Amino acid sequence: MATANSCDWSLKDDQLLRNLSIARPPHSSVHTPSLQHLILQAPTFNLTTTVEAEWWWREKRFASERKMRFGGNESVKNWIERGKECVVVSRKRKLRGKGKKMKIKLLSHFLNNFFNRNSYNTDRAMAQKRFIIEVEKAKEATEDRPSRGPAYRSIFAKDGFPAPIQGLDSCWDVFRLSVEKYPNNPMLGTREIVDGKHGKYKWQTYKEVYDIVIKVGNSIRSCGYGEGVKCGIYGANSAEWIMSMEACNAHGLLCVPLYDTLGSRAIEFIISHAEVSIAFAEEKKIPELLKTFPNATKYLMTIVSFGKVTPEQKQEVGKFGLAIYSWTEFLQLGESQSFDLPTKQRSDICTIMYTSGTTGDPKGVLISNESIITLLAGVKRLLESVNEKLVEKDVYLSYLPLAHSFDRVIEETFIWHGASIGFWRGDGKLLIEDLGELKPTIFCAVPRVLDRVYSGKKEEGNYDSQLPYAGLTQNISSGGFLKKTLFNFAYSYKLNNMKKGHKHAAASPLLDKVVFDKVKQGLGGHVRVILSGAAPLSMHVESYLRVVTCSHVLQGYGLTETFAGTFVSLPDELDMLGTVGPPVPNVDACLESVPEMGYDALASTPRGEICVKGDTLFSGYYKREDLTKEVLVDGWFHTGDIGEWQPNGSMKIIDRKKNIFKLSQGEYVAVENLENIFSQVPSIESIWVYGNSFEAFLVAVVTPSKQALEHWAEENGISTDFNSLCEDSRAKSYILEELSKIGKEKK
């Protein structure tokens, strides 16, 4: 093996290097690891080459041997800029392949830091983190807990977390005070139907919505339901959904959203587990609700449809002694009655949000009034700090499920600012029309939606299959030479200006109007912020959309247990690409080491499980104190996601601790990570990967893309229907080849 000084060698472009090892620094106490593979992609001769590595090694410490893993994705340029030095030497001096040579010289000091925990210097490692401040020192490992890195807080909360907004003690106060301040502002909008066709949005003002909410609340009370009773809401986003929720908030009922996509079994479980007494449901969801009978009828006594109720449904419900009402009928129940509203405390639970989790039955996450009003104060501080404000004229398209914390947080924020919320019609094929008619200013999405906007990959039957201006890259590549040349020039010009520090609005205002305006119009024409959440957004997609949509494209991170908002990237900060940004100004965050996966929170590049502390945290899992104790330790919520602090103080999600297991040979596998990788194959719709500790291999169930497979068959002269194609060995070989190809690319 070469010494630490013999680290100057030439590499070939796009060369897959195998059988490598890393030279151990003279003073390191850790045994030399063996590197099984390293992918080095170098399409151009520069120092921004991406090094993607997955390193496996054996380490002997404290007279025991354990297997660890380290996964990284970092640029050589960043390594050098951050003063990190290492040496990579080849067991085989002769490298095959042709291509332009490039030299990489990485010195040994980095290895000394990487392998020797004692050399870790917190102050030096964190000196560049300009968007966060340290509020708690790192902690070494104990017998009970692994080591934990320093705790950090947003620089916007350097003098303390923002004080609660005056007058806000509950979710009801959020709505009530906005009604007092903005009574005539349009609040909820729905497409009206004229001659059987959908027309313009018809708006209800804050005061009009308030009056209906009071009627709904009185009707609930007239049925005998009061403070502490659980009320289910089942269906797609709608004005009635919000009104039912606000009525619960007014009278102290606990709102229990029922997932629109979980199916009748999960709905039955939630109704029984939460002891739901009254449920509001979208008209077309009533049949699904009836499928939970008779088991759900132990607690469920009243059903309210957002629309009509058929005689058959009344008869079916009557068999079990339940009452069912249409929306109009229910409003009339409390029309002549009036009830005093109970006093509400910040510590009161206002909603139970059930999460599907990775295995087993859904878990009921208890969200308090304090969680919501604390988050609103944090959002207010964040917006003020980056010179962005939510104003009364802002408009939001509500299409992501209100049963999820992501959309709930956004809508609570819009309500607090007296802004407007318009609802989609619940049909993905009509979403483009809804966007064009509503003209939202804020557009929230999950990465899968934005991937379709970028690549044009479509999914039949899903709401994201008809997104506006879907397939930007396909649209440009299919254009003429002049169109492609102009677009590529405009894109490169604007991106380079943004890299130089220009804000996106000033990077190329003329080209925005001439070249990129069509993209902006595809999203309605008024979008100024695109917020991605729920999963990591690909860096190249984020970069592309930042340029061509003429909007701030931001990534956020959070869980139901943190009531969504935990991290969010900042506007006009291009170095936050590929990250979820720094913590929001109302939480502290740290990393905890995960030794079994090789992640060290005390390393020079801290990696570990993301832990969060703050008043936005949930109050526990309903009826599952055992699970609560597992994830809440010393006030820190353990998210199960693996993060890596970036030089500027942003967090990057790199892995997942949950749902990992060993194969029979002792190899750890994170199947969700594999599913995310293989899901990028354009020829498949979905993939499910499975394995257990009794076998040495994984298996996968793949659903092919009908459109892609039929296109492949046509190109290869195969004439048959889709079902027959799925049985064709040639089609199976094609799909397997595509999966193997991306597997090798991401290896």
SS3 of 217-282: HHHHHHCCCCCCCEEEEECCCCHHHHHHHHHHHHHCCEEEEECCCCCHHHHHHHHHHHCEEEEEEC
**19's tokens:** 């059988």
**270's tokens:** 């939630």
CB atoms within 10 A of CB 688: 12
Peptide bond connecting 294 to the previous residue in cis, omega within 30 degrees of 0: yes
Give the pLDDT band (50/70/90) at residue 108.
very low
Per residue in 463-491, pLDDT (tens digit) is: 333 333 445 555 555 556 787 888 888 88
Is the pLDDT at 360 greater than 70? The verdict is no
Per residue in 702-731, pLDDT (tens digit) is: 988 888 899 899 989 998 888 888 888 999
Whether 532 contacts 454, CB under 8 Å: no
pTM: 0.73
Q: How far apart are the first and last CA of the chain?
A: 25
CB atoms within 10 A of CB 150: 24
Class of domain 660-745: alpha beta
Paired with 41 in beta bridges are: 50
Q: What's residue 512's pLDDT?
A: 87
Residues 6 or more apart in contact with residue 724 via CB below 8 angstroms: none
The one-letter amino acid at 175: F
**151's tokens:** 């705790």
Burial class of residue 703, CB neighbours in 10 A (0-12, 13-18, 19+): exposed
Paired with 67 in beta bridges are: 58
Domains 171-370 and 395-656 share a fold: yes
Q: Where are the domains of the chain?
A: 8-119, 171-370, 395-656, 660-745
Q: What's residue 609's pLDDT?
A: 96
DSSP states of 470-516: --HHHHHHTS-HHHHHHHHHHHHHHHHHHHTT--HHHH-HHHHHHTS
Give the pLDDT band (50/70/90) at residue 90.
very low
Q: What's residue 357's pLDDT?
A: 54
- Kindly report the CATH number that applies to the domain delimited by 395-656: 3.40.50.12780
- Nearest CA to 567 out of 582, 579, 587, 554 is that of 582
- Kindly report the CATH number that applies to the domain delimited by 171-370: 3.40.50.12780
- Which residues of 482-631 form beta strands (DSSP E)? 529-532, 552-557, 567-568, 588-592, 607-613
Taking residues 360-388, what's their average pLDDT? Answer: 91
